[in-house]
Amino acid sequence: MHKITEKEAIDLLKENSPDEQSFKKVLSHSRAVQKLSLEIASKLSKKADINLIRTGALLHDIGRFKCNGTDYIKHGIEGGKILRQRGLIKHAEIAETHIGAGIDRADITEQHLPLPAKDFVPTTIEQKIIAHADNLIFGSERRSIKDVAERFEKEVGKKCAQRALSLHNEIQSMIKQGPVV
């Protein structure tokens, strides 16, 4: 597995950004996701790869530079492609699985999503932490799980909202010192 530093991750984000404004917007969001991801990881009873969380959170939305409007749902896949080309396989998997609390094959088929028919659901602790933190960060502002569930139910349906709540509960069950998010 290829390692990447925080500075290299930021440089890679900048390299893929079409302009300074887009870069700053994605970096601001990604920094907020990174901060919350590291906070969650520090409270878990299960060990997580902190460097992967630090850099994976920064790079999870790298595909946003290639996707907007109706193809926005593809930004995880596009990010995965960019990161795989760099040999960052674990980072690519984070990008591909971070949307919502994951998108499964049934979601893709039922909703006619423009994605390959396969599961894009977080399975590793690092993927789950970053997906959950990303759900809780709206722009660069931290929100509650209740806000997340309401937003998801309105935008993508009850099933996705329930999956986000299940991921939240799973993370909560791994916390050493009681709820943090």
Alpha helices (H) in the chain, listed in sequence order: 6-16, 20-43, 50-59, 75-85, 89-97, 105-110, 125-136, 145-156, 158-174
Residue linked to tokens 């759900």: 135
- 102 in Cβ contact with 63 (< 8 Å): no
- 75 in Cβ contact with 127 (< 8 Å): no
Confidence band for 177, pLDDT divided at 50, 70 and 90:
low
pLDDT of 108 reads 77
More confidently predicted of 41 and 66 = 41
Q: At residue 118, what are phi and psi to the nearest 5 degrees?
A: -155, 170
Amino acid sitting at position 99: I
Residue 142, SS3 per DSSP: strand
Domains and CATH numbers, the chain: 6-174 (1.10.3210)
**Cβ within 8 Å of residue 19, ≥6 positions away:** none
pTM score? 0.91
Instruction: Supply the mean pLDDT for the chain.
Output: 89
Long-range pairs, 11-17, Cβ under 8 A, ≥24: 12/59, 12/62, 12/82, 12/86, 13/58, 13/59, 13/62, 16/62, 16/65, 16/66, 16/82, 17/65
Q: Which of 109, 114, 148 is nearest to 131 (CA)?
A: 148
Quick: pLDDT tens for 139-148: 999 999 999 9
* Mean pLDDT of all residues in 88-104: 89
Residues 105 and 114: their CA atoms lie apart, in Å, by 11
